């Protein structure tokens, strides 16, 4: 998978758990994948499978009582023409080094911009704060750059919006403001966590187009999290499919769509809504039989086996399948389908 490109982030055996009174939620439970410089990686899977917690683990902003308990997140940082490899799981969340990476080199756009935009600071001041923190520009220069960024993301009347507050903007404009803020420091990785899910179809299409355009322009890598495979087809080059905190299949986007191996991926594909269709939630759930298991009590063996139509009793419900590379860049974690292809 893109072996000719430089590594940017390697997630290895990542485990992030929530320790609650009721028990331990193994939100991310051995996730593994790689992001290369300039690549768009799609991360898909049903709600609750650990996509957001994986993203938060990379940024080292997992809320309590959550904690990354195992694994590595190797960030290949470029400093003065050299590459330095840093394990982000080893940095304290509020350490200077983590803060210099978070927001500046790895930035994130969330599903609901209102939760990450401040209600009491103007859009401009929030972008300027990010710029001043990471780039050491003075106030006037930071304001100029903030207006530039708003222009870049297609904000109408950027020199007026810069002095407005989040609640004065529409959903689509808030999402543009979030993207402007995220991109203001030219991150090498933008993590977009369902950035269009809360938007109407037309605005969604505009934001997707904008992100593709910005990636061409700025050359950053994007980790694009979504439960919508229609969006994946439009936006990404490579895809990882997550189920219950693990990556169960990984391939380039064409292979994933035309030769999916894992029964879970196949089920997700059968549920593809047309882009922007608002009944996506219902259709998605109707077409995959069974329920996502209780996160406190994950099934033994392959976590998908209770819902799987090809599961082999005595194998799939007993032993956890390993991730196997069945073709260059195509990996799958399944006793049945990995064997069939190999």
Ligand X SMILES: Nc1ncnc2c1ncn2[C@@H]1O[C@H](COP(=O)(O)OP(=O)(O)O)[C@@H](O)[C@H]1O
| 258-294 residues labelled b (16+ CB within 10 A) or e (exposed) | eebbbbbbbbbbebbbebbeeebeeebeeebeeebbe
Which among 122, 126, 177 is positioned nearest to 154, based on CA atoms?
Answer: 177
Quick check: 240 binds ligand X (CB under 6 A)? no
Interaction between residue 16 and Mg ion (CB under 5 A): no
Tokens of 140: 């006037």
Binding of residue 27 to ligand X (CB under 6 A): yes
Q: What dihedral angle (degrees, nearest 10) is formed by the CA atoms of 273, 275, 277, 278?
A: 100
Task: Name residues whose C-beta falls within 8 Å of residue 15's C-beta, 6 or more positions apart in sequence.
Answer: 26, 28, 29, 30, 31, 68, 69, 70, 71, 245
Write the CB contacts of 282 (distance below 8 Å, at least 6 apart in sequence). Answer: none
Burial class for 219, CB neighbours closer than 10 Å (0-12, 13-18, 19+): exposed
User: Count of H helices and E strands in the chain?
Assistant: 13, 12
* Cis upstream peptide for 65 (omega within 30°): yes
For residue 250, with 0-12 CB atoms within 10 Å meaning exposed, 13-18 middle and 19 or more buried, which class applies? buried
In angstroms, the CA 64 to CA 303 distance is 25
Q: Which of 24, 47, 170, 277 binds ligand X (CB under 6 A)?
A: 47
Q: Total binding residues for Mg ion by CB under 5 A?
A: 2
Q: Considering CB distances under 5 to 8 angstroms, the limit depending on partner class, which of ligand X, Mg ion, none binds residue 276? A: none
- Give yes or no for residue 54 binding Mg ion (CB under 5 A): no
Quick note: the x/- pattern for ligand X over 291-310, rule CB under 6 A, is ----x---------------
Residue pair 124/177 in contact (Cβ under 8 Å)? The answer is no
Q: Which does 302 bind (CB under 5 to 8 A by kind): ligand X, Mg ion, none?
A: none
SS3 291: coil
Q: Which does 9 bind (CB under 5 to 8 A by kind): ligand X, Mg ion, none?
A: none
Site residues for Mg ion, window 178-207 (CB under 5 A)? none
30 is a site residue for ligand X (CB under 6 A) = no
Shortest reach from residue 317's CB to ligand X, in Å:
21
Q: Give the count of residues interacting with ligand X (CB under 6 A).
A: 14
Choose, by CB under 6 A, the member of 11, 49, 169, 231 that binds ligand X: 49
Asked if residue 25 lies in contact with residue 295, where contact means CB atoms within 8 angstroms, the answer is: yes
Piece of the chain touching ligand X by CB under 6 A; list 45-53, 77-85, 97-105, 311-319: 45-53
Using CB under 5 A as the binding rule, whether residue 228 contacts Mg ion is answered as no
Q: Based on CB atoms, which residue is closest to ligand X, 46 or 105?
A: 46
Which residue of 2, 12, 48, 285 would you call a contact of ligand X, by CB under 6 A? 48
User: Pick from 52, 188, 238, 265: which binds Mg ion (CB under 5 A)?
Assistant: 52
Span interacting with ligand X, options 34-42, 47-55, 155-163, 233-241, rule CB under 6 A: 47-55
- Binding residue (CB under 6 A) for ligand X from 30, 38, 42, 66: 66
Binding mask 305-334 for ligand X (x = CB under 6 A): ------------------------------
Site residues for Mg ion per CB under 5 A: 51-52
**Where does this chain bind ligand X (CB under 6 A)?**
18, 25, 27, 45, 47-53, 63, 66, 295
């Amino acid at each position: 998978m893109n072996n000719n490109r430089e590594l940017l982030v390697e997630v290895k055996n990542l485990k992030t758990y929530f320790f609650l009174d009721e028990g331990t939620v193994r939100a991310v439970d051995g996730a593994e994948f790689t992001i290369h410089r300039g690549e768009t990686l799609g991360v898909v899977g049903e709600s609750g499978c650990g996509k957001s917690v994986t993203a938060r683990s990379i940024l080292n902003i997992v809320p309590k009582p959550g904690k990354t308990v195992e694994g590595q997140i190797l960030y290949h940082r470029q400093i003065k023409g050299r590459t330095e490899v840093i394990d982000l799981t080893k940095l304290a969340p509020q350490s200077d080094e983590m803060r210099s990476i978070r927001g500046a080199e790895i930035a994130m756009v969330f599903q609901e911009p209102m939760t990450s935009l401040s209600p009491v600071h103007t859009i401009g001041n929030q972008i300027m704060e990010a710029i001043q923190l990471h780039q050491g520009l003075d106030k006037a220069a930071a304001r100029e750059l903030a207006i530039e960024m708003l222009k870049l993301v297609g904000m109408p009347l950027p020199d007026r919006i810069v002095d407005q507050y989040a609640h004065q903007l529409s959903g689509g404009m808030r999402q543009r403001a979030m993207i402007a803020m995220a991109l203001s420091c030219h991150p090498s990785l933008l993590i977009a966590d369902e950035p269009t899910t809360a938007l109407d179809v037309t605005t969604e299409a505009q934001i997707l187009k904008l992100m593709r355009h910005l990636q061409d322009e700025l050359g950053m890598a994007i980790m694009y999290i979504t439960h919508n495979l229609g969006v994946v087809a439009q936006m990404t080059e490579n895809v990882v499919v997550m189920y219950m905190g693990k990556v169960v299949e990984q391939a380039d986007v064409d292979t994933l769509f035309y030769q999916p191996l894992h029964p879970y991926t196949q089920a997700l594909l059968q549920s593809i809504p047309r882009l922007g269709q608002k009944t996506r939630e219902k259709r998605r759930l109707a077409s995959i039989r069974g329920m996502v298991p209780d996160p406190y009590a994950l099934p033994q063996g392959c976590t998908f086996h209770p819902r799987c139509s090809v599961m082999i009793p005595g194998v799939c419900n007993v032993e956890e399948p390993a991730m196997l590379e069945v073709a260059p860049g195509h990996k799958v974690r399944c006793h049945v389908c990995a064997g069939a292809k190999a």
